[in-house]
Structure 1
Amino acid sequence: MSTPLPTAPRAPREVAGIWLVAEREIGAKLRSKAFVISTIVLFVIALATIVIGGFAAQNAGDTKVAATPETSAAVSSVDGLEVTDVADRAAAEALVESGDVEAAVVGDSAASAPFDFVIIAKDSPPTSLMMSLAQVPEVVLLEPDAINPALRYFVALGFGLLFLLAASIFGSTIAQSVVEEKQTRVVELLISAIPARTLLAGKVIGNTVLAMAQILGLAAIAVVGLIVTDQGELLGGLGAPILWFAIFFLFGFILLAALFAAAGAMVSRQEDIGSTTTPITMLVMAPYFLVIFFNDNPTVLAIMSYVPFSAPVGMPMRLYLGEAQWWEPLLSLAILIATCVAAIAVGAKIYENSLLRMGGRVKLREALAG
C-alpha cells in the first residue's frame, strides 16, 4: 500500500508566491530605464535644492562692510555682517568704490549725536546695514511664532509633494499593471498557479518596497544636504518628523496600493483606468493642497493628522511645529493601521471578484457582492 506524499504547508507556499510576485514587480521596475533615470534625476534635484537653498540662506544676511580701527570692534559684534578691516577712511572709500564691500563704517568725530561714526555707501543708502546698527527697544510678542513662515511653507511643501508623487506614481503603476495583465490574458495563467490574494499581496509589497526605497533615499539626501550646508538646527527639528513621515507613509501607501489594485481590476482596458482610479487620486491630492493652504491653521492640521489618507502629511507637520502631544502620533498610527487592514480586506474582495471579468467596467456593487 503506497503512502501519500506529504504536501507543503499552505502558509509557506503562499509566502513564496507573494515574494515571487513581489520580485517580479521590483525587477520589472528596476529594468525600466525610465524609472531608473527619473529616480536619479529626482535625487539630484532634491540634493541640489537643499544645498543651494542652504547656502543661499546662510549668505543672504551677510553684508560686506569695511571698518576702520575706531569702528572695527563695534561693527564686528553685529550679526549678519562680513567685516573687512582697513587702515583709514581713504582705504574704506576705495573698497566701496570698487564694489568689494557694500558699505563702510568709519569713525567721525563730527558725526551727529549720539553717533561717533558715519556710513559710506556708493549710490544708495545700505538699508540692511542701517537697520543692523540701529538701536531699537526690546520687542515682546504675546503670541510668538517660533517657526519662520517661509520655512513652515517649504517644510509643508516637502511633505505634501513627497506623498503626492510617490503615492500617485506607484499607485497608478499598480493599476496599469493589473489592467495590462487582464488585457494580455496573463492573469489567467497567474491565477491558475497562485490565488488572487497572493497575487495582490505580491504586487502591493513589491511596489511598497520601491516606494519606501525612494522615500528613505530622499530622507537620507535631506540629512546629508542639511549637514553639508551646516543647518544642524533645522536638521534637529526635522529629524523626528521625517522618521514619523516614513512610518506613516509605509502604512498609508499599503492602504492606497490595495485600493489602486482593486480599481485596476474593475476595468479591462487602459483607457478606462481613470474612471475607477480618479476617486483614489483625489484622496492622494487632497493632503497636498490642504497642507499647502492651511499649514498655519492648527485646526485643519489636527483634523488631517487623524484622517487616514492625510495623516502621513498632517501628523509629521504638526510634530515639526511642536503642536502634537507625544501620544497623538501613536493614536493616529493606530487609526491608520486599522483603516489599512479594512482597506486591504475590501480591496482584496473587489480584486478577486473583478480580476477575471472581461469586457466593460465592473460596477462597485457587483465587485463587492461577488
Structure 2
Amino acid sequence: MSTETEPGTETEPGTRQATPAAARTTVATHDAPSFWASVWLVASREIAARLRSKAFLISTGILFVIAIGSVVAGGLLSANPSSTSVAVVGSASSVVGESAGLTAVPADDLAAAEALVRDGTVEAAVVPNGDSLLGVTVIALDSPPMDVVNALSVAPEVQLLDPASQGGFLVYLVALGFGLVFFMSALTFGSTIAQSVVEEKQTRVVEILMTTIPVRALLAGKVVGNSIMAFGQIVAIAVLVAIGMAVTGQRVLLADLGPAIIWFAVFFAFGFVMLASLYAATASMVSRQEDVGTATSPVAYLVMIPYFAVIFFNDNPLVLGIMSYVPFSAPVGMPVRIFLGSAEWWEPLLSLAILLVSTVGVILLGSRIYRNSLLRMGGRVTFKQALRG
C-alpha cells in the first residue's frame, strides 16, 4: 500500500493528515488585456453585432440596389437618347431630318398628319408652309410642343470663355449621390453607436465592462468597429459603381468620376470617426433610449447640413468652396469640386489636414465627455457637468 504525502508533512500508517487549503489551492492569475487588445475586442463585438442585424443588412442592400440601379439607368439613357416622334408631310421631312432629337413619321397629307396628332401617335406634325421662315409649320394638339420647337429653331453659335467641364444636370446627380451616401451611412451607423452606448448604460453592462476594459478603450472600440463597417460599405458601393460603369460602357464618365470617388472615401473615413465620437459622447449623457434622439440631434444636424447644401448650392462655387474646408461638410464638398475640376492639386491635401486636426480635437473632447458621463445615472448630464467630471 502506498501513500501520498504533501510536501513537508509526515503521516503514520492508517492515518491521514488534512492538507491546509492554502496548500491545495492554486491561484490562477490572468493579466488584463492591453489597451489595443481591448479596443479590438470591443470593435470585433460591434462588427459582429452589425453583421447579425437585419436592419443593417436590409439598409445595405437598399443602398447597393440604388447604386446599381442609378448606374444601369445612366447607361441606358446614354445608349438610347430620347427622341420625339413627329408626323411629316412632303418636303417637311428634309427639315425634320436635319434636326437632332426628332423622329419623322411620314404622313400622306395634312389630314393624316392631324389624325396622328389627335390619336397620340406623334407629339406634333410638321407640314410645309411657304410663308414661314423655315418653310414649315408645327401643328400640336393643345399646347406648344417646346421640345419640337427647340429642335427646329436656329440658334446662333455660342462661344464660352471658361466652359464648364461637366454638364449641370450631371453635376447635380453626382453631388446628390455623394450627399445621399454620406447622409445615410453617417446617420445609420451614428444612431447605432448611440443606441449601443445607452443600452449598455441603461442595463448597467458598462459597469461590468469597465472592470476589465479602460473607458477610452471602450469608446475607441465602438468608434473603430462601426467605422470599419461604414468604410467597408462605402468601398463596396464605390466598387459596384465602378464595375457597373465599366460594364455599361460609361468609361469616360468613370475616368472623370474616379478621382472624386477615391477622395470621397478618404474624407469619409476620417469624417465618420469624428462624427462617431460625437455620437458616442452625446449618447453617454443620457440613461434612457427615449432620450437618445434629443441628445444626439445636434450631431444629426451636422450630418444633414452637407446633404441639403449640395442639393441647393451644387452650382454655387463660393458655397462649395466653403463646404470643402469645413470639417463636417468637406467629405461632400471637396469631392464635388474635384469632379468639377475647380480644386487645385493642393486643396484636397489642405482640407484633409484640417479635417485630421479637427478629428483629433473632437476625439479628445468626446473622450472626456464619454468618460465623465458614462457612470452618471438618472437625469440627463449637462455639457458643463460632462466637461468638469
Q: TM-score interval w.r.t. the shorter chain?
A: 0.7 to 0.9
- The 8 Å contact of residues 92 and 136 in structure 2, kept in 1 or not, is answered as no
1:27 corresponds in structure 2 to 48
Letter in 1 for 2:47: I
Shift of residue 22, structure 1, vs aligned partner:
0.7
Deviations 1:227-284 (A, max 9, x none): 3332222222211111101000000000010111111111111112233211111111
Give the Cα–Cα distance (whole angstroms) in 2 for the partners of residues 191 and 262 of structure 1: 16
Determine whether 1:220 maps to 2:210.
no
1:31 to 1:248, Cα distance in 2 relative to 1, 3 A: same
Asked if 1:54 corresponds to 2:75, the answer is yes
Match of 1:342 in 2: 361
Q: Which residue does the alignment assign to 1:162?
A: 181
Among residues 340, 361, 366, which one is paired with 2:380 in the alignment?
361
Structure of larger gyration radius: 2
Structure 2 residue runs of 5 or longer lacking an equivalent are: 1-27
Q: 1:81 to 1:58 in 2, by over 3 A?
A: farther
Q: For 1:326, which of 299, 321, 345 is the aligned residue?
A: 345
| 1:128-277 to 2 correspondences below 5 Å | 136-277=155-296
Q: Once structures 1 and 2 are overlaid, which stretch shifts more, 306-315 or 134-143? A: 134-143
- The structure richer in helix per residue is 1
1:14 matched residue in structure 2: 35
**2:211 aligns to what SS in structure 1?**
helix
Q: How many Å apart are 1:335 and its aligned residue?
A: 0.5
Are the equivalent residues in 1 in contact too, given 2:126–2:139 (CA < 8 A)?
A: no
Distance 1:202 1:43 in 2: 27
Mapped to 1, the partners of 2:157 and 2:246 lie a distance apart of 33
**1:94-129 CA distances to partner (integer Å, 9 max, x unpaired)?**
9x97999989999x9x989999x9899998998756
Q: Which residue in 2 is equivalent to 1:303?
A: 322
SS in 1 for 2:379: coil
The match for 1:278 is 297
Q: Distance in 1 between matches of 2:150 and 2:270?
A: 50
- Separation in structure 2 between the aligned mates of residue 175 and residue 148 of structure 1, nearest angstrom: 40
Taking the aligned partners of 1:357 and 1:208, their CA distance within structure 2 comes to: 26
- Structure 1: gaps (5+ residues): none
- Kept in 2: contact 1:153–1:292 (CA 8 A): yes
- Aligned-residue identity in percent: 55
Give the RMSD, CA atoms, in angstroms: 3.6
Report the alpha carbon displacement of residue 323 of structure 1 after superposing the two structures with TM.
Answer: 1.2
Contact 1:302/1:314, CA 8 A, preserved across alignment: yes
Q: Structure 2 CA distance, aligned partners of 1:118 and 1:299?
A: 46
Partners of 1:103 and 1:119 within 8 A in 2: no
Residue in structure 1 matched with residue 308 of structure 2 by the alignment: 289
| 1:58 positional shift | 3.9
* Structure 2 residue identity aligned to 1:275: T
Quick one: distance in 2 between partners of 1:105 and 1:293?
A: 39
Q: In the aligned structure 1, how far is the partner of 2:60 from the partner of 2:139?
A: 49
Q: 1:343: how far off?
A: 0.7
Counterpart selection for 1:44 from 62, 65, 68: 65
How many angstroms apart in 2 are the aligned matches of 1:16 and 1:264? 24
Contact 1:266 1:276 survives alignment (8 Å): yes
Q: 2: distance between equivalents of 1:215 and 1:184?
A: 32
State the AA in 1 paired with 2:171.
R
In 2, the alpha carbon distance for the partners of 1:222 and 1:20 equals: 33
